[in-house]
Structure formats: structure tokens, C-alpha cells
Structure 1
């Protein structure tokens, strides 16, 4: 096996065509350069340099080797520069998962702060439901995820980052229902707009009704909170949406919150990573930012 340092000595000798000049730049002695070249030639069983009275010149075999050595050291230099950029957070990549509504209303502020601080980091963002995100986390497809709680999984480290207060909202077509306090049975008899089966919000609302002994069947199933809000505005029925997600619509009057005799319990949102998994420097910094902000928020509460 040929020592990598021999290739470096070969490269500098080829550039300078002089053993002494190569030794000076490499900060080693001239005999050390001469010995390394001799060892390299013996190992390859080829002559790489012709010795001249005032230096050396490459043989044809030496010229052929030089092209590969220059390319290899250029690649190594590029690798070192890239690693430096990764270390300094001038480059890198982070992969994050969340549901559409949580991306818009909870994740985006964190992303904006991170992107402003580290614009060179490439952010890969994908959406999904909490069970799917947990699976992709454990399979290494994403670095971290914002998920609905509770989520019991010993492989995941989860930090609560937000509490959502939900409400049923309707458009002007159901103004009469919004003007009084509704029993759960009256609420269940309204046309209900729900997220598709498998979403944490859908599971939450169905379990809440079931815990009160009320059976419900949605009239319309949709794939996003934004669509739920739009259909509610248009008078298609009542939709369960986190109040903070539609605060502007509620203030403007395009949506009306229903008052129910039995209040909805709050829901918690968590930030999840895999226990003990080594993350990239870029991902580690994002995780630290999110968890630090969550801790600060918890202390203020």
C-alpha cells in the first residue's frame, strides 16, 4: 500500500521539478523527499522522474500519474472546504415533517428564524399525518417532525411545543346556531366537516364525541384545515379547527365560533426526534432552536 503522503510529495515535486523546492514548501528535508519518491517508485515498479543536473522531470508514466493525483487532491481540498462550510452552517441540509396545518401555523415561524440565521442550509420539508411522520422518523427519512400528542413511542424523544384550543366554526348560514349554546346532540345534528380518516384531528373529534356517548358521521371529508375553513365559510356545515388558525376570520366575521355546553379539551403539539440518533450539524442547530424556544415558552407559562 502506498502512503498518501508519498502522493503529496510526488505532487509538489512534479509542480516544482525540484526536490529542494518541494521540500521547502512541504516543510520537510530534501532527503525525505528523495526517499519518499524512491519508495513510491519501488512500490509501483515504475520510474516517475528523470533526474537532471538542476532538478527532475516527469517520465511519461509520471505524467499519467500526475493527472490522477492532481484530481484526487483537488477533490480532497473540495471535501475539506465543504466540511468547513457544514461546520460553520454555511451549507448543509435538514429534513422536517409536519401536517399541512402545523407547517403553516406552527412550523413556519421556526423555519423563518432558522432560514434568516442560516440561509445556506437547504430545508427539505414534507407533510404527513402523525403516525406516518413517526414511521419516517424511525426509518431515517426525516430528521425531526412536529406531531400531534399524545404519541407514545419509546424510540422517540418528544418535547411539547404548543397547546391548541379547538372550536367548531360555521359561516353566516348557521348564524342562528352560533347565537346560542348548543348541546352535543344539537352539534352532532349539524352538517359536520372533518379531515380525512387517519388524521390526528379526525381521531380527536370522533373520540371526543364517542366519550360523550354521541355518534357522528361527517357530511364532508377534506384534506386540509384551509379547505375546512373555506367550506365552513360557504355554509356547508360546522368544522373543528384550532382557534388560533382562524383567529383573523373570527375577528372579521367570515367565520363564527359555536358555543357548546361541553367544552373541547385542549390538544398538545410536540416536536419529535429519534432517541440517541446522531443528527447533522444543521439539524442539531434547528432542534436546539425549537427546543430552546419551547423551554422558554414553558417557563413563561
Structure 2
């Protein structure tokens, strides 16, 4: 791989020549020389520099985007060639949205470690929008998200259906017999995820299809915080069945029977590369088997 690109990407991400030199085990003058040679070959200034900051120029942003793709493709190529003669091993970079990443992925990784200890997973957790961006930039080998993926450059492979229910604290809405209509819940405080989350997108679709506009909302960037808020009686939430199993069994949360629910959505594997290493294939198999 071109060392100039590796040095350039490191400087761009750390926004500091000294820290980049430390990360790369190089001297700062050597790092500066690499950048100087790259800028000369591009016939463009790639960084704006001062005593206070190092920032990418517009040309630098273009080079950074493509450099990340080149590095990602090189790494993938190296892994695939290595697969021809060696057993599955090495690092695979995985991205997962919060629901899957926090509540399902740990069990998958446990089984992976038991059956293929030579494989080292590196995991990034974010909302669906963030994971799609990292996949698009070749910064992850594979992602697991819920909901729609609109980037036409990303390959989407649905593998499991998820179900979402309305949950509340045990001593509130569930005391009533029979089903609630969505209209009856319009006056409740709905606790929702942040914009960009797959769960938030499904919640908005549910509100739209049910023809309701919640009067009051609270927004949190974590499903765990939402569950704690619901337990405290601050409102109700539409959540994946994967996220509240333990709380329902323990009696800390309760499912509210609502007409038209559960809402169904799909978990999908997403990627950009046309090829998968042996290590990645083994991981995908584990995902499709649900860690079993």
C-alpha cells in the first residue's frame, strides 16, 4: 500500500503532525516530507496549517475520501489472498446499529470466539445512518442495521425479522384490559430515539400510518436510557423485542396491547466489497444463525 496515503490519512484523522508521527512511529520531519511529496504529486495543498490547527483543504477532503477507499480495498485484497493458503484469522471490522449491537451481537461474538478464536472482531456501534456512512467510506468490512438503506453503492442483505412493541411501566397503562387504539395513546408522552436511528424511523412510520401526532415527546440517544425513563414512568416507547426481554421477565417493563402492533422490520447485513474473506464469511454465518 502507498505509505504516503497511510501517513496522509493518519494526519487528517488526528489533525496533528506530532501525534501522527507518534502513531506511525516516525519522526515529525519524515511525516511532513511524506505530505509534501503527496501534495506535489497532486499539485494541490491538502492541509491548512497554523500553530493552532491542521485542517483538510477542499482538495484534501477529496484525497481523504478516496484514500480511505484505497486503503480499505487494499486491506480486503490482502485478506482474500491470505485466505488462499491459510485458515480464517485476522481482524474483521464490524459496525452495528444500537439495537443489534447492544442486545444481539454479544451472543454472536461469544459463539465466534468459541469456534474461531483466531478471528479478532473490531466493533463500532452507532445509529443506522452512522454505520451506513462508515460502510460507504470503506471504513468497516460489514455492517448490521435495521430499516432502510438508501445508498445505492451499498449491498443490502436482509437476514432476520424484528418486531417492535409499545412498552410502559408495569403500573400504568397495562392495568386496563383489552387493546388500546393508537389514538388513545396520542396524549401519552412518547420517548423516542434520535434522528438517524432506525428505531426512530420506524416510530415515525408508526405514528404516520396510525394517523397520530404525539402531543409530548422526549428524545434520547440510547435505548438503555429510554428503558430507564419508561421504567420511571416518564412515558411510553416503541421498542424492539430484543431490547426489553429481561425487563419484562423481571417485571420492570410491560408490553402494552395496541391495535396494529407489533410493527415488523428487517435486520440487514450491509457492505460495499464484492468479496468476503474466510473470517468474514464465518462471522456472517454466525449472524444468520443468530449466534447459535
Q: TM-score normalized by structure 1?
A: 0.62
Displacement of 1:169 in angstroms is: 0.8
Aligned to 2:192: 194
Aligned to 2:234: 236
Q: Is the 8 A contact 1:86 1:92 kept in 2?
A: no
Aligned to 1:258: 256
Rg (Cα) greater in structure: 1
CA distance in structure 1 between the partners assigned to 2:164 and 2:210 by the alignment: 17
Aligned to 1:211: 209
CA distance in structure 1 between the partners assigned to 2:226 and 2:262 by the alignment: 18
Aligned to 1:282: 279
Aligned to 1:132: 130
Instruction: Map Cα deviations across residues 69-101 of structure 1 (whole Å, 9 max, x no partner).
Output: xxxxxxxxxxxxxx6999223x41010001222
Aligned to 1:167: 165
CA distance in structure 2 between the partners assigned to 1:167 and 1:266 by the alignment: 9
CA distance in structure 2 between the partners assigned to 1:263 and 1:234 by the alignment: 23
Please provide the CA RMSD for this pair: 2.7
Confirm whether residue 87 of structure 1 aligns to residue 70 of structure 2.
no
Q: Is the 8 A contact 1:168 1:241 kept in 2?
A: yes
Q: Is the 8 A contact 2:142 2:270 kept in 1?
A: yes
Matches within 5 A, 1:1-301: 87-89=86-88, 91-175=89-173, 179-216=177-214, 218-276=216-274, 278-291=275-288, 293=289
Aligned to 1:42: none
Which structure features the higher share of helix residues?
Answer: 1
CA distance in structure 2 between the partners assigned to 1:86 and 1:195 by the alignment: 46
Displacement of 1:232 in angstroms is: 0.8
Displacement of 1:237 in angstroms is: 0.8
Instruction: Give the secondary-structure state (helix, strand or coil) at the position aligned to 1:229.
Output: helix
Instruction: Map Cα deviations across residues 31-80 of structure 1 (whole Å, 9 max, x no partner).
Output: xxxxxxxxxxxxxxxxxxxxxxxxxxxxxxxxxxxxxxxxxxxxxxxxxx
Aligned length: 211
Displacement of 1:239 in angstroms is: 1.2
Gaps of 5+ in 1: 1-82
CA distance in structure 2 between the partners assigned to 1:200 and 1:102 by the alignment: 11
Displacement of 1:238 in angstroms is: 0.4
Displacement of 1:272 in angstroms is: 1.5
Gaps of 5+ in 2: 1-81
Q: Is the 8 A contact 1:107 1:146 kept in 2?
A: no
CA distance in structure 1 between the partners assigned to 2:85 and 2:139 by the alignment: 20
